[in-house]
A and B are shown apart, each in its own frame.
Chain A
């Protein structure tokens, strides 16, 4: 009985994934490598590599990915190490605070970065005020083409993923490993390089791969920075003439290949590490309480990271309250006008309603699928378990842009998903719900798996032996025990769905279907006070998400598990 249920669940999930995940990805590949005249062809991809605009775009995207990952690592590794080793004042709340930037919408933050670091921005104004800069020769902090602006925003947004992975790796290290090195004469700095860092590689690679894929295919941030010479933006711009232009597909296909390669490489590195063979560490990690001054230095470090990482969004808040903010450190006249005006704008209220609906529906789908999949993975003994586990983690490796593109192609007239957009109305609601759900499923599955692993199987067996049916056991015993984990995973899935950029920008075509993200993007493009209105809407979204993530952290307990591959 158990087995049959497990097999049928596995079959259902596999079919769901085949239709809504693999199929769109394959379609993208087909469009990139297939022409109606020659059949299979490499000519489109070849053309992409011959075209200097596209090669520059790809190269820029790759460079963005590498730089963003390294910058995130530079923030995350010291942060995780300090948090692992020392006890310091306010450690608990600060450890939660430094995770928040992950759910602050990065392309909203990008507006703030422009305000602060732009040529007419707050930093230059501040330096001029201090007399350190000649007002006629302002510094261009973001660099030509806004490259560094995107890197800064990506790093400040994504470092929590690496931080959580590295922290989880560190806590798995037997403290005796370092003490043994110390006993054999290895000084602290070399100990870090020879023992701690190598033992942390699983966390670095697991988190680094996600950060790389994320920033390599990031669409929203470069768009806000007007950094058009980067592949994701070129793809987005190519949508307008999608019908007869195979190059966007070829570009997306190349990005898919690169992402998959990175994912495979990181998996291989993870597979090679032999951390599982040593006996379980007996010694618990003992956090050292440094001397008072040093302890406060740790506090300061954590706070600074949080402060700097939230600075872009603080800039957005200031902008939303500013009458005019230009070449001054802070605005000179403050106003709440934009909030009122934003609520009156025809794009704003419907977009909030749309986003709430899309994200809630997607979260619900994720929760139902997530519990079923986790149950098969943890509780059943069927053969396909490991395959299912790997399958549902794949969306972490496949860029949102690829899926969005596949969905777009499949929802054209006469294609498979045409029915999902309700024919001619081109209402993308169900398309978006499915797209959001597929991409956020890994988070829910991971948290449900963690919850099931923690709860004792005997508790379920006891209920069964007392006569409860499997369904009633699930409802009365398993689900209540899983509650906290499911809420944590669900909130995270919800928050990410609310912030989703690629699917939203590509699939929502008419303004009455815009989710928040696309509404903000449209407002940014408006002349006049578009930036201020977009900021006001962004602040509303952030307040919302801030509440969500605090809830997730409070209920989640084990933070490391959610972002592991």
Chain B
């Protein structure tokens, strides 16, 4: 268990800036997520932490140690690769033993620790198997065991579940979280899958174009996104353009709405152009048109447990609305319906 700190990391590949002055603090024992679209720099940051890439500028600290110039294996941070990177010319056991052999661990101890690591990932007795006899999910577990067996202080995971099918992915989410917590590891986990991040992370950093946009626990990122990028990337949302008025009131094209600023001490002056983010599940459809907004239903998607409506507002813009456990199924039509929501669910964002 160790704190990881990135201080002003910049990484350049030729003319391309992959990371631009990124600073992060990851607490000991935390499972921390780096989340973002492809090319946002999340993998590059992980590789800088792992020591597989040297930052152009900035420093990396593990606890009190400055590890910026330290080679990867001396950082006590084991890496799990997206492609697993298991060596096909070795058995499962040989793959796991590799790191111990390189550390000159006693032959007898190696066998014990390999068995131990296999038990940790629930693959007891698989040591003699060849990799071609292992399924994708099992290979994933072997690659975890290979990283764990050297007893690292940190576990770095680069999109570890992206090669698995949906069912296995769900299963492995809780497995990985369990393993990180049971072994007192500091985990850094790179993914582009927001569901993975929301369900597993203690805290996460959303990245965009080489910059960290927001850091916080999942519920905070989801409920108080600091920008329309974050709001749109984490979960679905409706973004409405508007102009700030007095007292957190915002004029949109069709109504004046109460909003909650995303950043507590931010109070936009009247006349400033802003954006409102309203989650689809925060909106309720009512019969009365005397609601916050009104419009007509133009599309309906029924998914059993939930129902999704697309509502067109008076100015032609559209809003998504989802209803849990729907009792009344409304049909698309010309009839006007009302959209109701609380001012707390309307996040005020800078444009």
Interface residues of A (CB under 8 A from B): 174, 176-177, 179-186, 190, 194-195, 198-199, 201, 273-283
Docked complex Cα distance between A159 and B201 (Å): 53
Please determine whether A180 and B85 come into contact, CB atoms closer than 8 angstroms: yes
Residues of B within 8 A of A283 (CB): 82-83
Residues of B within 8 A of A273 (CB): 88-89
Please determine whether A182 and B88 come into contact, CB atoms closer than 8 angstroms: no
Docked complex Cα distance between A282 and B85 (Å): 10
Check: B150 CB closer than 8 A to any chain A CB.
Answer: yes
Please determine whether A199 and B86 come into contact, CB atoms closer than 8 angstroms: no
Please determine whether B89 and A278 come into contact, CB atoms closer than 8 angstroms: no
Residues of A within 8 A of B335 (CB): none
Docked complex Cα distance between A276 and B86 (Å): 12
Please determine whether A274 and B132 come into contact, CB atoms closer than 8 angstroms: yes
Q: Which residues B3-53 have CB closer than 8 A to chain A?
A: 50-52
If the complex has contacts A177-B85, A183-B78, are A279 and B136 also in contact, measured as CB distance less than 8 A?
Answer: yes
Least CB distance, B174 to chain A, in whole angstroms? 22
If the complex has contacts A185-B73, A282-B82, are A275 and B88 also in contact, measured as CB distance less than 8 A?
Answer: yes
Docked complex Cα distance between A180 and B103 (Å): 14
Residue of A nearest to B136 (CB): A279
Residues of B within 8 A of A174 (CB): 83, 85
Residue in B52, B86, B102 whose CB lies within 8 Å of A278? B86
Residues of B within 8 A of A282 (CB): 82-83
Please determine whether B131 and A274 come into contact, CB atoms closer than 8 angstroms: yes
User: What are 20 A-to-B residue pairs whose CB atoms are below 8 Å?
Assistant: A177-B85, A179-B85, A180-B81, A180-B87, A182-B72, A184-B98, A184-B102, A184-B150, A185-B99, A185-B103, A185-B150, A186-B102, A199-B87, A201-B89, A274-B89, A278-B83, A278-B139, A279-B84, A283-B82, A283-B83
Residue of A nearest to B13 (CB): A286
Least CB distance, B11 to chain A, in whole angstroms? 13
Check: B59 CB closer than 8 A to any chain A CB.
Answer: no
Interface string of B70-103 (1 = CB under 8 A from A): 0111100111011111111100000000110011
If the complex has contacts A184-B102, A199-B89, are A278 and B73 also in contact, measured as CB distance less than 8 A?
Answer: no
Docked complex Cα distance between A273 and B130 (Å): 11
Please determine whether B83 and A279 come into contact, CB atoms closer than 8 angstroms: yes
Residue of A nearest to B81 (CB): A176
Residue of B nearest to A195 (CB): B87
Residues of A within 8 A of B79 (CB): 179-180, 183
Residues of A within 8 A of B163 (CB): 279
Which 8 A-B pairs rank lowest in CB-CB distance, beginning with the nearest? A185-B73, A184-B99, A176-B85, A180-B85, A176-B81, A277-B132, A185-B102, A198-B89
Residues of B within 8 A of A186 (CB): 73, 98, 102
Residue in A176, A190, A194, A274 whose CB lies within 8 Å of B88? A274
Check: B153 CB closer than 8 A to any chain A CB.
Answer: no
Please determine whether B83 and A277 come into contact, CB atoms closer than 8 angstroms: no
Docked complex Cα distance between A273 and B88 (Å): 8
Residues of A within 8 A of B139 (CB): 278-279
Instruction: Give how many B residues have a beta carbon under 8 Å from the other chain's beta carbons.
Output: 31
Least CB distance, B163 to chain A, in whole angstroms? 5
Please determine whether B83 and A281 come into contact, CB atoms closer than 8 angstroms: yes
Please determine whether A278 and B84 come into contact, CB atoms closer than 8 angstroms: yes
Please determine whether B73 and A183 come into contact, CB atoms closer than 8 angstroms: yes
If the complex has contacts A182-B72, A198-B89, are A176 and B50 also in contact, measured as CB distance less than 8 A?
Answer: no
Residues of A within 8 A of B72 (CB): 179, 182-183
Docked complex Cα distance between A180 and B89 (Å): 14
Docked complex Cα distance between A267 and B234 (Å): 52
Docked complex Cα distance between A299 and B197 (Å): 47
Residues of A within 8 A of B98 (CB): 181, 184, 186, 194
* 11 further contact pairs, Cβ within 8 A, besides A177-B85, A179-B79, A185-B103: A180-B79, A182-B73, A183-B51, A184-B78, A190-B102, A201-B89, A273-B89, A274-B88, A278-B88, A279-B83, A279-B84
Residues of A within 8 A of B84 (CB): 278-279
Least CB distance, B271 to chain A, in whole angstroms? 49
Docked complex Cα distance between A276 and B52 (Å): 26
Residues of B within 8 A of A183 (CB): 50-52, 72-73, 77-79
Least CB distance, B145 to chain A, in whole angstroms? 12
Residue of A nearest to B50 (CB): A183
Please determine whether A176 and B146 come into contact, CB atoms closer than 8 angstroms: no
Residues of B within 8 A of A182 (CB): 52, 71-73
Residues of B within 8 A of A276 (CB): 132
Residue of B nearest to A191 (CB): B102
Please determine whether B89 and A179 come into contact, CB atoms closer than 8 angstroms: no
Residue of B nearest to A184 (CB): B99
Docked complex Cα distance between A277 and B132 (Å): 6
Docked complex Cα distance between A453 and B71 (Å): 42
Docked complex Cα distance between A274 and B82 (Å): 19
Docked complex Cα distance between A177 and B136 (Å): 17
Please determine whether B130 and A274 come into contact, CB atoms closer than 8 angstroms: yes
Residues of A within 8 A of B130 (CB): 274
Docked complex Cα distance between A185 and B79 (Å): 12
Docked complex Cα distance between A182 and B51 (Å): 10
Residues of A within 8 A of B86 (CB): 278
Residues of A within 8 A of B87 (CB): 177, 180-181, 195, 198-199
Please determine whether B102 and A277 come into contact, CB atoms closer than 8 angstroms: no
Residue of A nearest to B52 (CB): A179
Docked complex Cα distance between A274 and B90 (Å): 10
Residue of B nearest to A277 (CB): B132
Least CB distance, A21 to chain B, in whole angstroms? 34
Residues of B within 8 A of A194 (CB): 98
Please determine whether A176 and B83 come into contact, CB atoms closer than 8 angstroms: yes
Please determine whether B81 and A179 come into contact, CB atoms closer than 8 angstroms: yes
Residues of A within 8 A of B71 (CB): 182
Q: Which residues B133-189 have CB closer than 8 A to chain A?
A: 136, 139, 146, 150, 163
Residues of A within 8 A of B103 (CB): 185
Docked complex Cα distance between A283 and B81 (Å): 10
Residue of B nearest to A289 (CB): B14
Residue in A184, A199, A280 whose CB lies within 8 Å of B83? A280
Residue of B nearest to A176 (CB): B85
Docked complex Cα distance between A180 and B82 (Å): 11
Least CB distance, A228 to chain B, in whole angstroms? 43
Residues of B within 8 A of A185 (CB): 73-74, 99, 102-103, 150
Please determine whether B131 and A277 come into contact, CB atoms closer than 8 angstroms: yes
Residues of B within 8 A of A177 (CB): 85, 87
If the complex has contacts A183-B50, A185-B102, are A277 and B73 also in contact, measured as CB distance less than 8 A?
Answer: no
